[in-house]
Amino acid sequence: MTQRVELATVLDRLAVDDLISDYAAAVDDGDWAAYRMLFAPDGRADYRSAGGVEGDAGTVAAWLAQHLRPFPVRQHLVVNRRVRFLTLERDTGDTARVQADYVTPMRLAADGGPAAPPDHVSGGRYAFGLVRTPDGWRLREVVVQEMWRRAEETAAG
């Protein structure tokens, strides 16, 4: 591998990492316009394992906006990212697969006050499919595989 190819690979890995971080930030911030912009025109997401929907980025963004509205405090932690560049039309590096684990703690809003219990935490694994576009790397596919969830109720009293 030449130094030029190695440098290009490093730059691509950084760009892919930024895209995954931007994805998490868009969900946490409820920035659904930014969320949709992260996807390629044919991009889709599948949240069915977490009780959600599967569809194009606009459909899924609308579901997320409604589903996450009761949780004003949320923090998406996406870790253990494994990036693999693949071949598309005989050109190495035009697509990528990323597998990453996640933990997502969220907090429900209290009536008229700051966020309060019960807490909701879930974890699992993402499978991201990415494609290089003229505008940079974009998501072609996001599949959520929720592995666990916990909701902590406070005692009534």
| 31: CATH | 3.10.450.50
Q: Is position 112 within any domain?
A: yes
Check residues 39 and 156 and name the one with the higher pLDDT.
39
Q: Is position 11 within any domain?
A: yes
Residue 122 has pLDDT above 90, yes or no: yes
Is the distance from CB of 76 to CB of 28 less than 8 angstroms? yes
Q: Is position 46 within any domain?
A: yes
Q: Which of 80, 75, 77 is nearest to 100 (CA)?
A: 80
Residue 155 has pLDDT above 50, yes or no: no
Check residues 61 and 72 and name the one with the higher pLDDT.
61
Residues whose CB is less than 8 angstroms from the CB of residue 79 and which lie 6 or more positions away in sequence, other chains included: 100, 101, 102, 103
Q: Is position 72 within any domain?
A: yes
Distance between CA atoms of 36 and 116, rounded to whole angstroms?
A: 30
- Over residues 64-81, the pLDDT tens digits come to 999 999 999 999 999 999
Cis peptide before 118 (omega within 30 of 0): yes
Number of domains in the chain: 1
Distance between CA atoms of 80 and 147, rounded to whole angstroms?
A: 15
Check residues 67 and 89 and name the one with the higher pLDDT.
67
| pLDDT given at position 59 | 98
Check residues 23 and 92 and name the one with the higher pLDDT.
23
* Average pLDDT score over residue span 110-130: 81
Distance between CA atoms of 56 and 147, rounded to whole angstroms?
A: 23
Q: Which long-range contacts (CB under 8 A, 24 or more apart) does 132-137 make?
A: 132/12, 132/93, 132/94, 132/95, 133/40, 136/15, 136/19, 137/12, 137/15, 137/16, 137/19, 137/96
Kindly report whether the global pTM for this prediction surpasses the value 0.85. yes
By residue range, what is the domain housing residue 55?
3-152
Q: Is position 157 within any domain?
A: no
| pLDDT given at position 83 | 95
| pLDDT given at position 116 | 61
Percent of the chain with pLDDT over 90: 73
Residue 93 has pLDDT above 90, yes or no: no
Residue 118 has pLDDT above 70, yes or no: no
Average pLDDT, rounded, for the chain: 89
Q: Is position 129 within any domain?
A: yes
Q: Is position 138 within any domain?
A: yes
| pLDDT given at position 108 | 86
